[in-house]
Amino acid sequence: MPYASTKQLIQRAAHAGTVIPAFNIPYLPMVEPVARALKDCNSVGLIVVARLEWEKFESKSLEAVRDEYEKFKSPAHTRLHLDHVPVIDEDDRRVDYPAIITRAIAAGYESVMVDGSRLPFDENVACTRAIAQLAHASNIPVEAELGAVMGHESGPLPPYEELFASGKGFTDPDEAARFVQATGVDWLSVAIGNIHGAISAATKGQQKVAARLDIQHLDRIHQKTGIPLVLHGGTGIRKKFILDSIRHGIAKINVATAIRQPYERHLAKGVIAAQDAVYAAMLTVIRDELEVQNSNIRLNQEDKPYLHYELNSL
């Protein structure tokens, strides 16, 4: 029986009220423990790299991550996804995003993200639509972002509670509906109180704030768009909000800091120790935080919807 495509997997997760986690690879040796944990938990997850992880960390290039992925992939448990390729990056520089995305598709990435969220609405629409056309021609689904999921920028963030209370940068539900309609994008990354883990040298080791999510706001976006939604900044969000968000349209959740920091903290003891720390962190995320152990049983093998709680009683 052929395995499900990434598009089918996310669609099934959305219908079933469960989530597919996406794990970032800032260091190449992280691929092995991430894939191993997904297999050992019989879960489905995406292994992903963002442009800033080969520019500012040590994953070298999208092709290097693909090569590492090829050694450890499992058709029942893993898929390869290209995370944030910004149109304007976190340092305010323009990026040749069509060239990077074209390279990723040629290299075998099974889904891609274009991030035009730092652009005005109409320009974000135009860039995203062009990438959706390009990727769909190769049957590759596309994720885009609308609203501001902050945290990657080098400057200091406003205090979190201030940010949350003001709703500054939150995805507007009406704009989201127009965006989805105009671009043909497959999945939409939304801003509802989530923030990315910091990445500057001075801050990347710090603990993230325990972010909250505005679930009512998410629900409005979900009702208006009708496509699977994506939650970036998955580390450190209080569990109650995560589980609630999955019930209200989040079908993919990105996790980076929760597995990167253990790797960095243990590296002085050697790569094996650092990989073991990533593996242990993966088990915590899969089993305790997202509760997606055994998701392969239904997501990959049958077209039958199931509920999150059924999965976890297996």
In terms of CB distance, is 117 or 300 closer to ligand 13P? Answer: 117
**Taking CB under 6 A as the rule, does residue 242 contact ligand 13P?**
no
Residue 256 touching ligand 13P (CB under 6 A): yes
222 binds ligand 13P (CB under 6 A): no
By CB under 6 A, name the one of 257, 294, 296, 300 that touches ligand 13P. Answer: 257
Pseudo-torsion of CA 13, 289, 276, 61, nearest 10°? 50
Handedness of CA 103, 104, 110, 111 (dihedral sign): negative
197 part of the interface to ligand 13P, by CB under 6 A? yes
| DSSP code for 201 | T
The pair phi, psi for residue 254, each rounded to 5°, is -95, 135
Residue entry with tokens 């989040």:
250
Span from 5-13, 230-238, 239-247, 294-302 in contact with ligand 13P (CB under 6 A): 230-238
Q: Which stretch binds ligand 13P (CB under 6 A): 60-68, 70-78, 93-101, 253-261?
A: 253-261
The answer to whether 294 contacts ligand 13P (rule: CB under 6 A) is no
Using rule CB under 6 A, residue 111 touches ligand 13P: no
Query: Look-up: residue for tokens 């152990």?
Result: 293
State which of residues 124, 183, 254, 294 lies at the interface with ligand 13P (CB under 6 A): 254
Q: For the chain, where are the E strands, in sequence order?
A: 20-24, 45-49, 78-86, 111-115, 142-146, 187-190, 229-231, 250-255
Is 36:272 a contact under the CB 8 Å cutoff?
Answer: no
Least separation, in Å, of the C-beta of 284 and ligand 13P? 13
Q: What is the DSSP letter of 110?
A: S
- 291 part of the interface to ligand 13P, by CB under 6 A: no
List interacting residues with ligand 13P (CB under 6 A): 24, 50, 83-84, 196-197, 232-235, 254-258
